[in-house]
Amino acid sequence: MQIIAQHGDIFIILACLFGFFMAWGVGANDVANAMGTSVGSKAITIKQAIIIAVVFEFLGAWLAGGEVTDTIRKGIIDPALLQDDPQLLVYGMLSALLAAATWLLIASMKGWPVSTTHSIVGAIVGFAVAGLGAASVDWGAVGNIAASWVVSPLLAGSVGFMLFKSVQHLIFENPDPLKAAKRYVPMYIFLVGFIVSMVTFTKGLKHVGLDVGFSQSLVFSIILGLVVTVLGIVMERRVKYVHSSDDHFGYANVERVFGVLMIFTACAMAFAHGSNDVANAVGPLAAVISIVSSGGDIDGAALVPWWVLVLGGGGIVAGLVTYGHKVIATVGTGITELTPSRGFAATLAAATTVVLASGTGLPISTTHTLVGAVLGVGLARGLAALNLRVIGTIIMSWLITLPAGAGLAILFFFMFKGMFG
């Protein structure tokens, strides 16, 4: 308790700096995943992707980012074991943030799409085992999180596969694909608006002061879905169609219609990513603020302060603008060849999986989800459509992430203990 009273201000300043550094890493590495499909399918430019991400990542983090932070903050370690030594939890959370952020910086420089959730969970487990012993870790909770890393790509891959098959059946196999696209694309646009609105209303708005019931959420989401659909139809009517003698079926024009749709799915993915992955940066930061402000009380129920979510959102945006282009190239063009229709199926599948997980408080990996969705869409065209060498490199970088986060966290934990303890 004495150490917290003595160095409380320093702990909060360090937590804010490391939290921002971690959010920067999320932006540099993970947001690129969210935008990779849209840029890779040439539906939007890198510049447009950055503008969309800046707005919707920030909104996702601020409006719907409070739910997952609890799982990161309290779900992994049993706080009761630290009741007598709350400063150990402060050192641990600081070392976890710094370790995960350092690994993300290295991975982003290499252009590897790694999981920020893996990084922070690995770091928290690392400091807990080193500083408190293996018994302090809630291995059941870690098991649930680990299971979600397998379930999320499988789920997103299955949804992506089915979505792309539905697009093939309803539109590309139709005698008049362009007419079919104009008929069915509004339905897909409605789906994007409805899913994102539904999860935001049901789970995300409590800390903004709006607590909406399920039936009201349903009504609002349907209305918002319809508004987004009308907007999409207006944008679709402004698309210039080109009739070419090489393209008898008009597939190029169908892809132009899907290009409009990709703008909506890019917004949805950015929002979904902000709501889920801001937790990786602000969960440990909120824990430090809570312990210091309550004078060392670990069990103190702490709402994540609004400015912490703003700090996280700002860091994510800074990371994307300064360094995001490297990982965008890997995800957008490396795994499989993407067109707007394929990119749409992958992005909507990933966004749906992420917002559902964010709604249930499960910290899944957006990276795994999106790569799973892209693989699912690639598989819908057969195994030959996938670049297995790039996929091997990505899986390799995933496997290194947990031990790298844990090892760095142990190092930093003993460093902080030596400095303050």
- What is the 3-state composition of the chain as percent helix, strand, coil, each rounded to the nearest 5? 80, 0, 15
Residue 16: is its pLDDT beyond 90? Answer: yes
What percentage of the chain has pLDDT greater than the value 70? 85
Q: How many CB atoms lie within 10 A of CB 16?
A: 17
Residues 6+ apart with CB under 8 A from 301: none
∠ CA 227-231-234, rounded to 5°: 140
- Between 242 and 353, whose confidence is greater? 353
Residue 72: is its pLDDT beyond 60? Answer: no
Residues spanned by the domain of 80: 2-420
Predicted TM-score (pTM) of the model is 0.80
Residue 417: is its pLDDT beyond 80? Answer: yes
Using CA atoms in the order 207, 28, 379, 346, what is the torsion angle rounded to 10 degrees?
A: 40
Q: What is the pLDDT of residue 192?
A: 82
Residue 95 has which token pair?
């070392």
Q: What is the pLDDT of residue 1?
A: 64
Gap between the Cα atoms of 119 and 166, Å rounded: 36
Q: Kindly indicate the confidence band of residue 407, based on its pLDDT and cuts at 50, 70 and 90.
A: very high
Gap between the Cα atoms of 330 and 393, Å rounded: 10
**Encoded amino acid at 359, one letter:** G
Ordered alpha helix ranges (H), 294-332:
306-323, 325-329
| Mean pLDDT value across the chain | 80
Count: domains in the chain? 1
Q: Kindly indicate the confidence band of residue 399, based on its pLDDT and cuts at 50, 70 and 90.
A: confident
∠ CA 317-318-320, rounded to 5°: 65
Q: Kindly indicate the confidence band of residue 200, based on its pLDDT and cuts at 50, 70 and 90.
A: low
Residue 304: is its pLDDT beyond 70? Answer: no
Q: Kindly indicate the confidence band of residue 261, based on its pLDDT and cuts at 50, 70 and 90.
A: confident
Residue with tokens 């997103």: 156
pLDDT in tens, 96-115: 999 999 999 998 888 788 88
Residues 6+ apart with CB under 8 A from 165: 380
Q: Kindly indicate the confidence band of residue 74, based on its pLDDT and cuts at 50, 70 and 90.
A: low
Residue 202 has which token pair?
């049901």
Gap between the Cα atoms of 15 and 10, Å rounded: 8
Helices H / strands E in the chain, number of each: 15, 0
Do the Cβ atoms of 111 and 327 come closer than 8 Å? yes
pLDDT in tens, 141-150: 788 777 777 7
Residue 138 has which token pair?
């809630």
- End-to-end CA, the chain: 11
List, as one string, the DSSP characters of 171-226: IITSSSHHHHHHHHHHHHHHHHHHHHHHHIIIII-GGGT----HHHHHHHHHHHHH
